[in-house]
Amino acid sequence: MIRKSLQDGVQILRLDRPEKKNALTGAMYTELAEALETGNTDGEVRCHLICGQPDVFTAGNDIGDFLQYAGKVAISETPVVRFLRALVRNEKPLVASVDGIAIGVGTTLLMHCDMVFASRRAFIRSPFVDLGLVPEAGSSLLGPQLMGHARAFELLCLGNPMTADKAAQIGLVNEIVEEDVETAALSCARQIAAKPPEAMALSRKLLRGDTQAVSERVEEEIRIFAERLTAPETIAAFQTFMSKKKA
């Protein structure tokens, strides 16, 4: 589930499924998407903060749950895709607090954040290719822009994990926090929320530039992702992953 609260203009979106390492279900994606969408027009929301639990941000997509959705509707109509589109269309500053694992979408959503705080326990990895899939959330465009082709290839194609230190070196993380990472992230989010909202919105829009290219890349990734779900190597990779999970 997603626990939502509002503090001093900051909408806190807490991933709260610790028994499954905060693996994201369709219901959780829907809640996150709705929070971002309604936040665009809610004057009380001046900043979003996404956080998890101690020692776990998110293990990424709950594959079993995703396959259930994917079997019933087109990929473009699934909750995860609604969330990815909401990330691109989000108009309010977005802060993340990463403590522990951040896998798959737990990594790619960080590329849409304005500020990212991480603990020393942060473990960032995107095993898309290992599952026979392709990167998502516009990361195939945003990743090279942020960290250069070689680092993006290492993260998104090779699937190598990154420590907090390495993520900070390439610009994916703003600050490494030695003790309470969530307190530091919330403090920053409150600082953002306290600033003149119109000036903040205009400044953020200028910095982000035209998001049309990102939106188009998200849709291209979705199309290829859907095609890959029926590829023999993807089916084999999923079967191997699920058998290991059961074991």
Confidence at residue 247, expressed as pLDDT on a 0 to 100 scale: 57
Average pLDDT, the chain: 94
Retrieve residue 89's tokens.
Answer: 């269309």
Rounded to 5°, the CA angle 234-228-236 comes to: 10
Q: Report H helices in the chain.
A: 26-39, 63-70, 79-89, 105-108, 139-147, 149-156, 164-169, 181-193, 197-208, 212-228, 232-246
pTM score, whole prediction: 0.94
Confidence at residue 74, expressed as pLDDT on a 0 to 100 scale: 83
Contacts of 246 (CB under 8 A, 6+ apart): none
Q: What is the dihedral of CA 36, 38, 43, 44, to 10 degrees?
A: -70
Confidence at residue 68, expressed as pLDDT on a 0 to 100 scale: 76
Split at pLDDT 50, 70, 90, the class of 242 is confident
Arithmetic mean of pLDDT, 152-173: 96
- pLDDT > 90 in the chain, percent: 87
